[in-house]
A = this chain, B = another copy of it.
Amino acid sequence: MIGATGGVSSTVALGLAALAEGLTEPHGLVTAHPDLEGVELVTPEDIVFGGHEIRGESLEAAVRHLRAESGLFDASMVEKCASILGNMQRNVRPGTLVGASEAVTALGDRAEVPADATPGDAVERIAADIEAFRVTNKLARVVVIHAASSEPPPPPALLAVTQPAALDQALTGSGEVLLPTSTVYALAAIKAGCGYVNFTPSLGIGLPAALKDAEARGIAFMGNDGKTGETLVKSALAPMFAMRNLPILSWMGQNILGNRDGAVLNDPNTREAKIHSKEKTVAALTAGAPRVGVSIDYVPSLGDWKVAWDYVHFSGFLGTKMSLQFTWQGADSVLAAPLIIDLARLVDLEMRRGTSGLMKHLAFFFKDPMGCDDFNLFNQWRTLVNHVTQETN
């Protein structure tokens, strides 16, 4: 896990512990859906948790913080899992601040985080950490999942880094191109031969030269930006309007949230990347050119809870304007965590099956699925189930 003791990753850690100990039902786990029964997936107890982190807070402290601030998790479950979280913590290595935004750098209070001289140095160090993690824990496969704070949208110069030479230059840190932290982690994952998932709207593996490298090295990868709440609902409702031939006039969404992600998104530049990712679904699923808007506001009192209000204005028969509005109230980390466990299991399955390159069949899990233009949740579901349940030879 990149961002290994953040809200999402801590919940992943607690969840793995609770599932392994039989303390909870697998609610929210797509891989526990009856339609996927029979698929041989790694069990929660066989998954070893580890990662990189720039903040000093431990997994256990993060879990207790979510509990106190946001009312999440049963008290006795936390107590029973505390020692397991302590063991997992040993696998959390210092992250890197190379290429980080100001907002993110301000969060970096972990004493051990070294001042990597160049992006290339950071890549080497992190890849070596992953390799050591694999060896120490005798792991068959490693999946790197990026769940660190959102970054601002990449400048055009970054998207022009298509050739190995340009990437090498960027890794020295001496050119004009500044690699974002998410891409540094992605390059380390590629170097270490891991499966890779980008659960955020950050660039990550999306740097053109990184994509080429990943394909060349047979890496299985997918992203971007986990589809956890408001966008999930959009991807179910927009097809409904389309099937009934009811044109969308406007679809406006207001998101308020209080966690660290919200604090980072309070920076207008970073927010832009997130909004861009969130606006795609409705635009892709509706004919015409509806007015689509998403706003995000940081409301600290909400803690890990996110409240989203969407107003959908549509045109009915004989030009009659009607509306649907919804309010979604969900705990962000708790929505994301099971999807990350799902992705770890499904990417591991692909690696065993020998898949490499872009895993388009995982589009179901993402707001902005790489290489896919079908945002219809139901089509994505069918694609996922068909792909996963068909045996490879």
Contacts and interface: CB of A to CB of B under 8 A. Distances in A.
A175 to B, nearest CB: 35
Contacts of A328: 323-324
| Chain A: number of interface residues, binned into ranges | 35 or more
A330 B242 CA distance: 16
Interface in A286-301: 291, 293, 295, 297, 299-301
Question: How many copies of this chain sit in the oligomeric assembly?
Answer: 4
A15 interface: yes
B243 A30 contact: yes
A153 interface: no
A309 B254 contact: yes
Given A30-B244, A245-B30, A324-B327, A313 B295 contact: no
A26 interface: yes
A179 interface: no
A331 B319 contact: no
Interface stretch (A82-90, A201-209, A231-239): A231-239
A319 B27 contact: yes
B319 A335 contact: no
A318 interface: yes
Contacts of A73: 318, 320
B317 A377 contact: no
Contacts of A33: 242-243, 245
Given A295-B297, A324-B328, A302 B11 contact: no
Contacts of A75: 75
A9 to B, nearest CB: 13
A261 B135 CA distance: 58
Q: Main secondary structure on chain A at its contact with chain B?
A: mixed
A27 B74 contact: no
A302 B250 contact: yes
A159 interface: no
Nearest to A238: B236
Contacts of A244: 28, 30, 232
Interface string A235-267: 011011011111101101010100000000000
Given A250-B302, A299-B313, A381-B243, A331 B326 contact: no
Given A295-B297, A316-B335, A318-B15, A27 B246 contact: yes
Ordered nearest first, which 3 A-B pairs have the shortest CB separation?
A: A249-B301, A28-B317, A378-B378
